[in-house]
Copies of this chain bind each other. A is one copy, B any other.
Amino acid sequence: MPYTETDFYEQLLNSTRLFEGKVINLRRDEVELPNGKIGTREVVEHPGAVAVVPLTKEGNVILVRQFRHPVQQIMLEVPAGKLDAGEEPEACARRELAEETGFAANNLRKLISMYTTPGFSNEIIHLYLAEGLVKSDKRPDDDEFIHTQTYTPAQIHAMIASGEICDAKSLVALFLAGI
């Protein structure tokens, strides 16, 4: 069945700002649906983020363990973080890699960019593969409580199967890095 773009588009009628936060903002938009009816859309505005797969010369991956308050769990993830205002994704990837693992990368390769939750947020996350790792002198911020550890691909496969690695960005980044 063919379609045209006008079958889908929603026309913005008005927008109400509900919250301006430290990390996210929230607004509610009223839209006209393709059938002329009125709908509302709740939108979480996010600055965007990066995630990095740090691959050692032995073919292992450095992961970060940290407490995630929204899900009340200690999670094991690839190094990641939010874009600072005006920061380029590649610069952010290098910064987060250094801050969270203490390494710089001689080779940083973009994998893809993806939307984490296009149904309710505009968050985009840029995924990178970091190789040629060399020690940097950066260390985590005082208020970042993280623990880094290196895992083999076999360990990572087992932790994906067991659900220990279970966040979207880590899964996509690890798959695309060929782990």
Contacts and interface: CB of A to CB of B under 8 A. Distances in A.
Contacts of A31: 69
Contacts of A171: 114, 172, 175
Given A44-B44, A114-B168, A120 B70 contact: yes
A124 B26 CA distance: 20
A49 to B, nearest CB: 8
Contacts of A5: 74
A18 interface: yes
Q: How large is the interface on A (under 10, 10 to 19, 20 to 34, 35 or more residues)?
A: 35 or more
Given A44-B120, A118-B75, A69 B3 contact: no
A107 interface: no
A99 to B, nearest CB: 15
A39 B70 contact: no
Nearest to A144: B33
Given A114-B166, A168-B116, A168-B169, A122 B67 contact: no
Nearest to A147: B3
Nearest to A174: B175
A85 interface: no
B119 A117 contact: no
Interface string A64-86: 01111111011101000010000
Contacts of A166: 112-115
A143 B8 contact: no
22 contacts: A1-B147, A3-B65, A7-B147, A8-B66, A8-B145, A18-B26, A23-B120, A35-B142, A35-B143, A35-B145, A37-B143, A39-B143, A41-B70, A43-B69, A46-B120, A70-B118, A71-B115, A75-B115, A116-B168, A117-B123, A117-B168, A121-B121
